[in-house]
A and B are shown apart, each in its own frame.
Chain A
Amino acid sequence: MAQSSQATGGLESIPALLQRNATLYANKDAYREKEFGIWQRWTWADTEKEIEALALGLINLGVSEGDFVAIIGRNRPYFYWSMVAIQSVGAVPVPVYQDSAAEEMEYILSHCGAQYAIVEDQEQVDKVIDIQEHLHQFKHMIYIDQRGLRKYDHHALHRFVDIQEQGRAAYYEWIDDLKARREKLNYDSTCVMLYTSGTTGKPKGVVLSNRNVIESAKNSSDFDNLNAGDEILAYLPMAWVGDFIFSVGQAYWTGFCVNCPESADTMMTDLREIGPTYYFAPPRVFETQLTSVMIRMEDAGKFKRKMFHHYMAHAKKVGGDILDGKPVGFMDRLKYKIGDFLVYGPLKDTLGFGRVRVGYTAGEAIGPEIFEFYRSLGINLKQLYGQTEATVFITVQPDGEVRADTVGVPAPDVEIKIADNGEIFYRSPGVFVEYYNNPESTASTKDAEGWVATGDAGFFEEKSGHLRIIDRAKDVGKMADGSMFAPKYVENKLKFYPDILEAVLFGNGKDRCVAFINIDLSAVGNWAERNNIAYASYQELAGHPKVLESIQEHVEAVNKSVAEDPMLAGCQIHRFLVLHKELDADDGEMTRTRKVRRVIVAEKFKDLIDALYDGSTTISTTTEVTYEDGRKGSISATLELRDAKVVPVASKVAAE
């Protein structure tokens, strides 16, 4: 590959960037975390000292070059320091989803042969202790929060601050080693290993080099003019590639400040207090926020509600155009300004988006209405398409060319080609090194020339040159009559309704499609409250005839819209049911990033699918559920199966 370290000024590793930032931005905040009700802060100079102490402590503990060190916890400065300290000593950080069940964690720790782990608290310590007997190589664990851990056996268990203290005490013993190890790092050394959540099969360890991370961070920062003055809120899982690129890659490249929330539950308040300038969230977060805004507006006074709806209608008309810099009449601009003063500004501020310069959403398709809502407020929300294997960026939407139904143009330095079956391939400096210990998968994903298969099917729009994604390539199937079956396309249309949380479409190889639906408890629950409908549980609400009726309306509306596309008209939903439980990652029905595992759902609820096809109107079923602590239970229910109206398919009509 042509990239040389010259482009990055000889800065070939994250620890090297840290050294630069500690001089260049010495007194600028690098990290903030809300703790004890106050935003605690660390400048880049402080950060460098903290990381050095930890790195020395790790050498002192016996961490060698090439070792794998697991990181298990929520976004906290300590874990970001750990990442860089681990890199500094030549070892490889492996962040793990902190809500993984014990067996998932066991798989990852034994697959990479981690000898050390840095974890958050008692919960994680207990989890690792539970699986430790299966991990023969495992040596030491370091924890941050000592509550409840005082009485544990501390032979192989250490406090984070103690390791740092030991590092400081052993400064003269190890500092030369540390410097030597740090200087050995270059563009080809491993920066991080991230396990992909895997909608199918076991997770795979994606090895990313410093080249991957720094080049991607550099290109994307240039693309959006990110600079040291930016602020982000780090709240997405640390084991996810996006967080690594934003909170480590881009943060170290540009020197911007990473803010960590007080706890997962205070995210919204913290967001508002920080007011990030650069923000990333999966569509789900935007959806939830919009739902809560709408619910709260319903509860607001009549005057406020009227004003809100009046100005939102105006924003819908011209807001997007103003943001895109398109010509808009003077009166409309004036009215938008007034609206901004009365409604949009305060609303953005409440949502914590008052200062957002660039916002991204990715991971799933976002509902056009949701997308437009935020853009019309003047928030520069854009979409990108990416993968762990690409170090995130494949395509991005440039400013002024933003649409809900495409994912943009190829990111800088990314080449894209589309295979005959529609599958998207890409090649870029961000392309991953390999799947750890899995040459077969590496070979089947990445060819000799460096092209990587995304597994997604899509096409370039001729007019705009933007990429459109249809579905997972392997999920796109054929119906019995040979027409195209693209479940995601239909599911997304359903999910755009606020009261539908999740939908799963079946019909590959069959003559017609059927669907499972999960209602959104907060939206439907609010509706129930408003209409004096009492309910005790998700299950009860999901079975309520009025709920079923409104879901049926949505399904039929979706059928109408699906029928408009002749290619996909066969995917209309003939029958559906509302599931008696929410699909859940703890039950294996979803990945940790909340993508439905189609095959597992199909196997688990086979009786329900059969019933949908055999025409029965009710079915009793029992389902095993797993609680958060790993215990199992079961719920049983009698479900109502409903027929939905479908629009006759045009081609068939013509043939008759």
Chain B
Amino acid sequence: MNAQAESYVTDDGRTIGPTVMEMKNITLRFGGVKAITDISFDIREGEIRAIIGPNGAGKSSMLNVISGFYVPQEGEVWYKGKKRPPMKPYQVAQQGIARTFQNIALFEGMTVLDNVMTGRIRQMQSGLFSQALWKGKAEKEEVANREQVEKIIDFLEIQHIRKTPVGRLPYGLKKRVELARALAAEPSILLLDEPMAGMNVEEKEDMSRFILDVNDEFGTTIALIEHDMGVVMDLSDRVVVMDYGKKIGDGTPDEVRNNQDVIDAYLGVAHD
């Protein structure tokens, strides 16, 4: 598979750029278990790319490969035209990849504001000493970062819980706070692990709108894993379908919807 260079404009007027990240023949094993078998696909700049599949298909493992948490035994990850060496997750984050987690990983005892501020860690340069004394550079940095964070708080409409400890928030809002924290890092690629899991219809609609708006306003490339087929088909530009660790489909939502392998995997023969 060759990296695509030419940009194009979607029906709704967004510009999709060239390939920014490419997975080449990824295989991931845990001991004898093959979680991912020989999967290749690419993510283009500015698009919303979904990875879907039934339970245990290897979606989260795939996301963990992208985020650098797992290092695949075989295959290569290419990012911005360069092959990415095995990295620690924080190094991946420094490259501009931010993520949210399936089962929320926020600091429960800290306020929403503080949680989102932690997303700015990459933008903070001042040393330990300066931060402890709260003088000069540290103070200026904090003000600048707070401004950025406030924009995100405004964007995601969580002003009313700014000072609320995260532990007291309902699930749907926690998910939104997690998204805020990921956005605070100003990522070039945003990875969302089941952003709508466990949400009711209204919360799903809100979250979908936020995802679309993030993509639209900031031009952020988004890769997301999702269970809910309806949501995925409405949101994404292209979809990768996985089943039992293998890729069984790749294309626009319409192409995927009509793919026989995909239909079999989802409607199944064994399931009702």
Residues of A within 8 A of B (CB): 35-38, 147-148, 150-151, 262-263, 265-266, 269
Contact = CB atoms under 8 A, between A and B. Distances in A.
A38 B213 CA distance: 24
B154 A36 contact: yes
Nearest to B209: A148
B83 interface: no
B147 A36 contact: yes
8 contacts: A36-B153, A148-B217, A150-B216, A151-B216, A262-B159, A265-B160, A266-B160, A269-B163
A347 B213 CA distance: 41
B14 A36 contact: no
Given A37-B159, A38-B150, 20 more contacts: A35-B154, A36-B150, A36-B153, A36-B154, A37-B150, A37-B153, A37-B162, A147-B213, A147-B217, A148-B212, A148-B216, A148-B217, A150-B217, A151-B12, A151-B14, A263-B157, A265-B160, A266-B160, A269-B160, A269-B163
Contacts of A263: 157, 159-160
B8 interface: no
Contacts of A38: 150
Contacts of A262: 159-160
Contact of A265 (B14, B151, B159): B159
Q: Is the interface of B mostly helix, strand, loop or mixed?
A: helix
B241 to A, nearest CB: 28
Contacts of B157: 263
Nearest to A268: B160
B14 A37 contact: no
Contacts of A269: 160, 163
A265 B112 CA distance: 15
A147 B214 CA distance: 9
Given A265-B160, A266-B159, A269-B160, A37 B216 contact: no
Q: Interface SS of chain A: helix, strand, loop or mixed?
A: loop
B13 interface: yes
Interface string B134-174: 00000000000011001101110101101100000000000
A339 B162 CA distance: 32
Nearest to A266: B160
A151 B147 CA distance: 26
A36 to B, nearest CB: 4
A147 B152 CA distance: 12
A355 B159 CA distance: 25
Contacts of B217: 147-148, 150
A265 B173 CA distance: 14
Contacts of B209: 148
A266 B161 CA distance: 8
A416 B155 CA distance: 51
Contact of A147 (B150, B155, B159, B162): B155
A147 B155 CA distance: 8
Contacts of B13: 150-151
Contacts of B14: 151
Nearest to A269: B160
B235 to A, nearest CB: 14
Contacts of B150: 36-38
A148 B213 contact: yes
Contacts of A36: 147, 150-151, 153-154
Contacts of B155: 147
A37 B146 contact: yes
Contacts of B151: 36
Nearest to B201: A627
Contacts of A147: 155, 213, 217
Contacts of A265: 159-160
B251 to A, nearest CB: 24
Nearest to A148: B213
Nearest to A263: B159
Nearest to A627: B202
A265 B159 CA distance: 8
A151 B213 CA distance: 11
Nearest to B10: A151
Nearest to B153: A37
A262 B158 CA distance: 11
B234 to A, nearest CB: 15
Nearest to B212: A148
| Max count, chain B CB within 10 A of own CB: residue among A35, A36, A147 | A36
A150 B219 CA distance: 12
B205 to A, nearest CB: 8
Contacts of A266: 159-160
Interface-central residue, B155, B160, B212, B217, by most chain A CB under 10 Å: B160
Q: Which 7 A-B pairs have the closest CB atoms?
A: A265-B160, A36-B150, A151-B13, A37-B150, A266-B160, A262-B159, A263-B159
